[in-house]
Amino acid sequence: MKKKRTLSLERKKELFGFLFVSPWLFGFLLLMVLPLYQSISFSYSKITIEASGFVSQNVGLDNYKTALQSDPWFNRILTEAISKMVLNVPLIIFFSLFAATLLSQKFRGRAFARAVFFLPVVLASGVIAGLDSGNLLGQFMGGASSNLEGNFSGFKSVDLRPLLLESGLDRGIVGYLTGAVDRIYQIISSSGVQIMIFLAGLQSIPPSLYEAAKMEGATGYESFWKITLPMMTPLILTNTVYSIIDSFYNNGVTSYMQNITFQQLNFGLSAAMAWIYFIVITVILAISTYALSKRVFYQN
């Protein structure tokens, strides 16, 4: 009798991984391939809208040259978006890990503290503020969110800057820290998902590791740097990628491209800008992932 062949563990993992991504792959092939092709085609064309539809005229790389060389705003807005990302993402990762570490501790009223902490994050996420402008609740929450952000941005680091300069810190470091204080509302409101991911990772660390370290005489500080931080490095990579994408999701660049598309009706130029934007994001993600993946610790 022929023996039934069994799949190895690695093969089973591969099959489960394929099944996990198959819905996205099917949706991508069915819904996204044609729009992506049309977008690439538009970026090399001049689109004219007529009564019978749109007429496409091939112009080569003229749209890309216009976006990079002639347009007065695109390069400036793109540079500002990249600068904000470089400044905010490290602060978001640090704050998320710090907040998750505090919320993972055992103390009375921990569930209530988590609920109180995440409630402002949900309200400031833009979901409620982005309701129909004709909705009274949407107007109220949108105004409250704007006022809250204005109040926090008004909490300037007037007293903090002289104190840090007198302590002997470099002006560049002082500027970065005081800028973080001025952007505290934006950092907190952008850290909700990252905190939840870190919190789940912290709760998955085996308590036996901390017990063994404590028996060896390790302090809480040493346990954090020797156990917690190495175990969190895969999630630091995940949250970094998420934070970079989230920072580029809705900013001045996307608003400017929407203006080019729907107000100026220059579909070819907006498509070229979109692909330049996509290439820039891809390069930043590739560099960040490559740099961080070398320091990621995976427990086998």
170-209 confidence digits (pLDDT tens): 677 767 667 666 677 778 777 878 888 898 888 888 888 8
Residue 195 domain flag? yes
d(CA 102, CA 97): 9
Four-residue CA torsion sign, 117, 121, 127, 133: positive
Confidence of residue 300 (pLDDT cuts 50, 70, 90): low
Residue 13 domain flag? no
Residue 80 domain flag? yes
- SS3 per-residue string spanning 232-275: HHHHHHHHHHHHHHHHHHCCHHHHHHHHHHHCCCCHHHHHHHHH
DSSP secondary structure string for all residues of 18-74: HHHHHHHHHHIIIIIHHHHHHHHHHHTEEEEEETTEEEEEE-TTHHHHIIIII-SSH
Confidence of residue 137 (pLDDT cuts 50, 70, 90): very low
pLDDT at 64: 92
- Regarding predicted confidence, which is higher, 2 or 37? 37
- Using DSSP's 3-state secondary structure scheme, residue 219 falls into coil
Residue 72 domain flag? yes
* Domain extent for 96: 60-293
pLDDT at 138: 45
Residue 45 domain flag? no
Query: How many domains are there within the chain?
Result: 1
Residue 202 domain flag? yes
Read off the pLDDT of each residue in 143-164 and give the average, rounded to a whole number.
Answer: 54
pLDDT at 110: 74
- Regarding predicted confidence, which is higher, 145 or 106? 106
Residue 48 domain flag? no
Read off the pLDDT of each residue in 246-254 and give the average, rounded to a whole number.
Answer: 85
For 212-245, letters b (16+ CB in 10 Å) and e give ebeeeebeeeebeeebbeebbbbbbbbbbebbbe
Read off the pLDDT of each residue in 248-271 and give the average, rounded to a whole number.
Answer: 87
Q: For the domain that residue 147 is a member of, what is the CATH number? A: 1.10.3720.10
Confidence of residue 264 (pLDDT cuts 50, 70, 90): confident
Q: For residue 47, what are the β-bridge partners? A: 56
Share of the chain above pLDDT 70, in %: 76
Residue 55 domain flag? no
Please name the residues in contact with 140: beta carbons below 8 A apart, sequence gap of 6 or more: none
81-106 confidence digits (pLDDT tens): 998 888 889 989 998 898 888 888 87
21-54 confidence digits (pLDDT tens): 999 999 989 988 998 998 899 899 888 877 777 7
